[in-house]
Structure 1
Amino acid sequence: MAAGIAGLPAAPRSLAVGLSGGADSAMLALHAALYAARHDTTLHFFHVHHGLQAQADRWRDHVHDLALSLHVPCHSLRVAVDVTRGDGMESAAREARYRAFASLARQTGVVHILLAHHRGDQAETVMLRLLRGTGPQGLAAMAPYFRRDGICYLRPWLDIDRAEILAQAEAYGRLSGWHPVHDPSNADDRYTRAAVRERLAPELDARWPAWRANLVRHARLSAEARQVLEEVAADDLAGLEPAADGASFSLAAWRRLSEPRQAMVLRYWLASRGLAMPTEGRLRDWMRQLRGLHALGHDRQMRVRHGEVWIRCVRGRVMLAAAEPGENS
C-alpha cells in the first residue's frame, strides 16, 4: 500500500480496514498495519458478522486471530440482513455492512475506512452495469474514494490484479500459518456477481485475456467524462435561478436547455439533494409533464412521487416537498 492514497490525508491520525477474513481484505489489513506503523497512525480493523453462513462465527474468530498477531484492535459487529428486500441479498448485505461500518466508525472516532476492492472487482462492476444498461455515468463504476454517512471510504487497490493479492496471501500463510477464509457465496452463481465471475469471466479470459484491464481503463475514462458532465450540470443548475436552499428552480429556464441537458440537470439536482436516481422511463415521463404543464399553463396540477418526496411545479417553480406518512400519489 503506497504512502499516497487518493482521498487520504498525508498523515491521518486514525484509519480502519474493513476486514472480512478473505485474502483481499486480509492482505490489505497487513499492508495497512505496515503503513500505520510507519506513519504513527492508529489502526483499527472492522469485521461485520452477517450471520448468513454457518462458518460466520469461525470467520470472526479467525479475523481476530489475525488482528492479534498484527497487534491491531479488531471490532466486530453482528448485523441482521433483511433478505425480504426487493433488490436482492447482495444489496441487502452491502447496506447492512455500511451501516455497521458507520456504527463502528462512530465508536472509534475513525473517519477513513479502507476497502479491498481490486481490479477484478472493478471489471465485474463495469460488466454488471453494462448488462443492466446503467448509462455513461454509471460506467465509471467504483470510485477510488467516496463519502457516505460522514465517512470517507477508500479503495487503494482498484488497479491491483487479484493474482498478485493471492500470491501475497499464500506467501504470508507459509510464513505465519494464518490462511484466509473462503466464502462459498463468492462462487455461488445464484448471486449475480458470482454468475459473472463463474460463468462469463472464464470465457472472456480465454478469448480476451486483457478484458479486466481494459474495463478498468474504461471505468477510469468514464469517471473523467462523468466529472465533466457534472461540471456542466452544475453550471446549468446555477443558471436555472435556483432557490437559496437549492430545493427549487425555474421551469422556464429549464425549458430553454436542450433535452439531454434537461435530463442531466434533473439527475444532478436530485443527487445534490441526496435522492436516488429515477429510472429512465420515470425521468422521461417527468420531463414530458414539465414541458406540458408549461405549455398549458396549469402547473399547479403537477405532483409526482419520488421515494419520500414529491416533485411539484407551482407558479413556474419546480420544487421538492416532503411526503406525509401514508400519503399516496
Structure 2
Amino acid sequence: MRRALQALPQRPRRVAVAFSGGADSAMLAVHAGQVASALGIDVVLFHVHHGLQAAADAWAQQGRDLAATLSLPLIEARVQVEQAAGKGIEAAARDARYAALARLAQDHDVGHILLAHHCNDQAETVLLRLLRGTGLTGMAAMAPVSQRDGIVYLRPWLDQDRSAILQAADAVQAACGWRAVQDPTNADPRYTRAAVRELLAPVLDARWPGWRGIVARHARHMADAAQILDEVAREDFARLDPSPDGASFSLLAWRNLSPARQAQVLRHWLHQNGARMPTDARMADLLRQLRGLHSLGHDRQLRVEQAGHVIRCHRGRVWVEPRG
C-alpha cells in the first residue's frame, strides 16, 4: 500500500477506502489508516448500502464500529439496485456501487479510492473472462491503477494472497473483538463468481496448488501485451490520415495494413470514439465490408450500426458518429 501511494504522480490530500465491512476491505481500512496517515494523507471510509440482504443494516453498523475504533470517518450511501435487461444482479450491484462511490468522491473532494481486490479475486476474474470469451485486454483483468468516472482506483493488494488478509482479520478480532461481515452470497454457487470460488477453485487447488498466483501473473503478462498492442494501434492510426477529431480515417491507408493490424486499429478507433466493441462476428462482417469497398469508398454507401453508433464510408474515408 505504501508503494502504491508513493508511486502516485502527486500525493493526494485525502484518499477513501471502499469499505463493505468484509475482511478484505476492513483490513484495507486498518492498513490505510496506518500507512496513509504516516504519509500525511487523510483517510475516509465509503460504505455503499445495497439493501440486498436482510443483514445489510447490521453490516453498516459493524462498519461504523470499526471506523470508530480506527478513528476514521465513515460515510454511507444507500443505493437501489435495478437489474437492466440482460444484466445479472452481480453486474447491476457492481454498477450501482461504482456510481455511488463516484458520487461520494465528488461530494467529499476525493480523487483516489482504494479497493481491496487481492490475488484470489484477480485469478477468479481471469477465469471468468476467459470463459466469457474476452479479448486480450479483458484477460489483463484488474489493473493496479485504473480510472472510472474521473476517479482513480488503486488496488494495492493484487499480488497479496487472501490467506494473509484473513490472518490479519483474525489478529484484529483477537485484539479488539471486532468481527468482519460474512456475506452469504460470497459462498452461494448460484452467483457466477461464487460458483468459480466454491466449485471450480477446490478442484484446481487439489491438482495445481499455487494456481492463483500463476493466473494472476498471466494477467500481468496480458496487460503488458495489451499495452504494446495499444501503442502499435496508436502509431498505425496516426498514419491513416485521421481527421483532427479522430472520427474518420483514410480507407486506402487502412487497407495497406496487415489484416491483424486492420482489426486492431479499428478496435482502437472505436474505443477512442466512445463506441462499444463489436462482437467477433460483427467485427468480421465490418472488416469484410471495408475490405470489399472500392479504394475511394464510393462504389456503394457503407452504413453499419454498432450499439448507438454508426460507421459509414464516403469519398474514401471511414467515419464513426453517434446514431442520431
TM-score (norm. length: structure 2): 0.96
Partner of 2:202: 202
Partner of 1:60: 60
User: Contact 1:119–1:160 at 8 Å: present in 2 too?
Assistant: yes
Change (3 A) 1:46 1:291: same
Partner of 1:161: 161
Which one-letter code corresponds to 2:114 in the other structure? L
SS for the counterpart of 1:137 is: helix
Q: Confirm or deny that 1:291 pairs with 2:291.
A: yes
The aligned runs of 1:84-103 (5 Å cut-off) are 84-103=84-103
User: Contact 1:240–1:253 at 8 Å: present in 2 too?
Assistant: yes
SS for the counterpart of 2:293 is: helix
Per the TM alignment, residue 139 of structure 1 is displaced from its structure 2 partner at its CA by 1.3
Hey, what's the Cα distance between the residues in 1 that align with 2:59 and 2:85? 25
Hey, what's the Cα distance between the residues in 1 that align with 2:119 and 2:107? 31
Which one-letter code corresponds to 1:36 in the other structure? A
Unaligned regions of 5+ residues in structure 1, if any? 325-329
Q: Confirm or deny that 1:82 pairs with 2:82.
A: yes
The aligned runs of 1:106-117 (5 Å cut-off) are 106-117=106-117
Per the TM alignment, residue 5 of structure 1 is displaced from its structure 2 partner at its CA by 3.9
Identity among equivalent positions (%) equals 58
Per the TM alignment, residue 274 of structure 1 is displaced from its structure 2 partner at its CA by 2.9
SS for the counterpart of 2:2 is: coil
Per the TM alignment, residue 6 of structure 1 is displaced from its structure 2 partner at its CA by 7.6
The aligned runs of 1:304-315 (5 Å cut-off) are 304-315=304-315
Hey, what's the Cα distance between the residues in 2 that align with 1:4 and 1:17? 14
User: Contact 2:296–2:317 at 8 Å: present in 1 too?
Assistant: no
Larger mean Cα displacement after TM superposition, 149-158 or 266-275:
266-275
CA-to-aligned-CA distance 1:45-87 (integer Å, 9 cap, x gap): 1111111111111111211111111111111111111124312
Larger mean Cα displacement after TM superposition, 5-14 or 111-120:
5-14
Hey, what's the Cα distance between the residues in 2 that align with 1:109 and 1:179? 30
Per the TM alignment, residue 209 of structure 1 is displaced from its structure 2 partner at its CA by 0.5
Hey, what's the Cα distance between the residues in 2 that align with 1:321 and 1:274? 9
Partner of 2:319: 319
Partner of 1:2: 2
Which one-letter code corresponds to 1:286 in the other structure? L
Hey, what's the Cα distance between the residues in 2 that align with 1:59 and 1:139? 33
Which one-letter code corresponds to 2:136 in the other structure? P
Hey, what's the Cα distance between the residues in 2 that align with 1:287 and 1:7? 41
User: Contact 2:273–2:320 at 8 Å: present in 1 too?
Assistant: no
Which one-letter code corresponds to 1:17 in the other structure? V
Per the TM alignment, residue 196 of structure 1 is displaced from its structure 2 partner at its CA by 0.5
Unaligned regions of 5+ residues in structure 2, if any? none
Change (3 A) 1:57 1:242: same
Which one-letter code corresponds to 1:40 in the other structure? G
Change (3 A) 1:68 1:294: farther
Hey, what's the Cα distance between the residues in 1 that align with 2:216 and 2:147? 21
Partner of 2:272: 272
Partner of 2:130: 130
Larger mean Cα displacement after TM superposition, 135-144 or 200-209:
135-144
SS for the counterpart of 1:274 is: coil
Hey, what's the Cα distance between the residues in 1 that align with 2:85 and 2:110? 29
Larger mean Cα displacement after TM superposition, 294-303 or 173-182:
294-303
CA RMSD of aligned residues (A): 1.6
Partner of 1:24: 24
Which one-letter code corresponds to 1:55 in the other structure? A
Which one-letter code corresponds to 2:164 in the other structure? E
User: Contact 2:140–2:220 at 8 Å: present in 1 too?
Assistant: yes
Which one-letter code corresponds to 2:279 in the other structure? T
Q: Confirm or deny that 1:119 pairs with 2:113.
A: no
Hey, what's the Cα distance between the residues in 2 that align with 1:95 and 1:130? 21
Hey, what's the Cα distance between the residues in 1 that align with 2:59 and 2:33? 20
SS for the counterpart of 1:294 is: coil
Change (3 A) 1:169 1:309: same
User: Contact 2:44–2:72 at 8 Å: present in 1 too?
Assistant: yes
Change (3 A) 1:125 1:42: same
CA-to-aligned-CA distance 1:93-133 (integer Å, 9 cap, x gap): 11111100110000011000000000000000111112122
Aligned residues: 324
Partner of 1:327: none
